[in-house]
Chain A
Amino acid sequence: MTDLTAIDQTIELVRYLAERPVDRARTGQTPHAIIHRQNKACVRYFHPRGGAKHAPLFVSMPLINTWTVFDLMPGRSVIEKLVAAGVPVYLLDWGRPGVEDQPVTMVENIDGILMRALDRSRRHARAHLGTDVFDVLGYCVGGTFLSIAMARHDGAARRMALLAAPIDFHKSGRLSTWAQPDSFPLDDIIDGFGNFPKELMRSSFAWLRPMGQLTKYKGLAERIDDDGFRELWAAMEQWNGDNVDFPGETYREYVRRCYFDNALMRTDGDWELGGRRVDLSQGTIPVQVFAAGGDHIAAPAACRGIADVWGGPVQTMVVKGGHVGVCIGNSFPKALLAWIEQGGAPTASTGAVAEAK
């Protein structure tokens, strides 16, 4: 709380918003290089400061927003903290799908884009860091897709971490209440719009907590004289408003199978991708689940679901924050770094180079 009166706060708030701070906010500032591109997706490589002290980390970001939530601003960046700790980071940015990406299917995204991105990251790490032993991290939908990929390609990574990634979709709160086959016109939306429109995505998330739209301005007014908070607020607002279209056919299959059927929780289901059954019990690598305590999009119960179906050991940890706030707080980066440190120093390649030895 500040020493300003309510009237002063309101005047300051209006003055601040008139400066259009959201448009001027700069996100994704950590230096990096793009090492691979496919369609709209790309792999961004963040070189570790002071050399690699840990195994490389491949990060699968969500498809519904931009990747910059992991690199929002200096001091509030998961990537920045990882790079400073000596972790080479390979981040899969799914890009901004266009109308032409409506026919792109889930199997194309998982076996095509995601697994190829991991392969190219591995080759890059082998050539530049002398290791291709990878840990992987998936956030939100990116985590759901990653877990499917790791079950289909068991052993493609050493360990997997999931952040706010729903698996037991029927426990994911209000979203699962909304995504019911008798009330959510999935086919009509995809047939009519092509992709799931970003505007609809944005308003859906806003309607999950209608009062949140008001309280965010109230929160800003109360801390309007805090420069750091104002900067963070503007960056968050920019990211929140920067949704991307979800490729139509991928969305159709994702919602039908995950939300309608809760198919990831079934090990005897009939869901096939590219002729192969989706079965999380096929995955055996160790999994660390990070669930956000205040998550209203992927509730902790939905994230913990993987423990019931995954074929390998699963550990869960609830970290402080909401679905998005978890990325800008200190709780998750600290927990993630502790998990990374458990993996030890980077080891030599296990691929073609190691086989030859």
Chain B
Amino acid sequence: MADTASDTAAGMPDFSKLSNDMYQQWEQAMTAWWDQVLDSPDFLKATGQNLSQVAHARKQYEQAVDEGLHKMHLPTRQDLVRVARIATLLEERLLQMEDRLLAMGDQLDVLEKETIQARVEAAEARLEMREKLAELQARLDAGEATAAPATATATPRRRSTAKKPARSSKTE
């Protein structure tokens, strides 16, 4: 680089820059030319025809090889493809069964959670009921306690018999 700089300073052309510029101009020209060629309908049609012929030749070659193998009682490419395809379809069937099993598992999960939720709700309802009963019992006891001094002297025997059923219902 230092040499080039000194050459330029001495009035010599910068060959590095010159070659770079030339390359860029050439690249631009080539790109424009290729663009014209690659977008040209004639070129595309010719390429398509060429591709088509290659594909036909390939098909005929494959058929010839298959016929040869068939005559020798050997499995052909088509046979192998068919077997591999069957394996793929079997895998698909298995995966479909797996899909169904997973979907059933999902449904069971939902059912299980719904069942657990229902049982929790039932238990909560029973607890609530028990608390209400306890509250009622407490209120009844309190009511009887206030009523007791008034009736104690008059009917002592009836009071003791009246409390027994209430006590038994509490334990239930």
Contacts and interface: CB of A to CB of B under 8 A. Distances in A.
B81 A100 contact: yes
Interface stretch (B66-74, B87-95, B145-153): B87-95
B3 to A, nearest CB: 9
B114 to A, nearest CB: 6
Nearest to B28: A211
Interface string A190-204: 011100000010000
Contact of B52 (A104, A188, A211): A188
Interface stretch (B105-113, B119-127, B134-142, B159-167): B105-113
A46 B54 CA distance: 43
Interface string A209-231: 01100110010000000000000
B75 interface: no
B65 interface: no
A38 B91 contact: yes
A29 B58 CA distance: 38
A356 interface: yes
A102 B99 CA distance: 25
A14 B58 CA distance: 37
B55 A177 contact: no
Given A38-B91, A103-B85, A193-B58, A355 B110 contact: yes
A180 B58 CA distance: 22
Contacts of B38: 174, 207, 210
A188 B88 CA distance: 25
A6 B19 contact: yes
B39 interface: yes
* Secondary structure dominating the interface of A: helix
A33 interface: no
Interface string A97-123: 011111110001000100010010001
* Secondary structure dominating the interface of B: helix
Given A100-B81, A123-B102, A192-B58, A211 B31 contact: yes
Contacts of B51: 184-185, 188-189, 200
Contacts of B47: 183
B77 A99 contact: yes
B66 to A, nearest CB: 12
A99 B81 contact: yes
Interface in B30-45: 30-31, 34, 38-39, 41, 44-45
A123 B105 CA distance: 11
Interface centre among A180, A184, A214, A352 (most CB of B within 10 A): A352
Interface string A342-355: 00000000011101
A184 B81 CA distance: 27
A272 interface: no
Given A193-B55, A211-B31, A356-B114, A39 B102 contact: no
Given A116-B95, A174-B38, A191-B59, A185 B102 contact: no
Interface of B: 1, 16, 19, 23, 27, 30-31, 34, 38-39, 41, 44-45, 47-49, 51-52, 54-59, 77, 80-81, 84-85, 87-88, 91-92, 95, 99, 102, 106-107, 109-110, 112-114, 117
14 contacts: A38-B92, A39-B88, A102-B81, A104-B88, A119-B102, A180-B44, A185-B48, A191-B59, A192-B58, A193-B55, A200-B51, A211-B27, A211-B34, A357-B113
Interface of A: 3, 5-6, 38-39, 98-104, 108, 112, 116, 119, 123, 174, 177-178, 180, 182-185, 188-189, 191-193, 200, 207, 210-211, 214-215, 218, 351-353, 355-357
Given A189-B52, A191-B55, A211-B31, 11 more contacts: A38-B92, A99-B81, A116-B95, A119-B102, A174-B39, A177-B39, A210-B30, A211-B34, A352-B107, A356-B112, A356-B113
Q: Sort A-B residue pairs by CB-CB distance and give the 7 closest, nearest first.
A: A192-B55, A356-B113, A100-B84, A185-B52, A352-B106, A183-B44, A192-B59
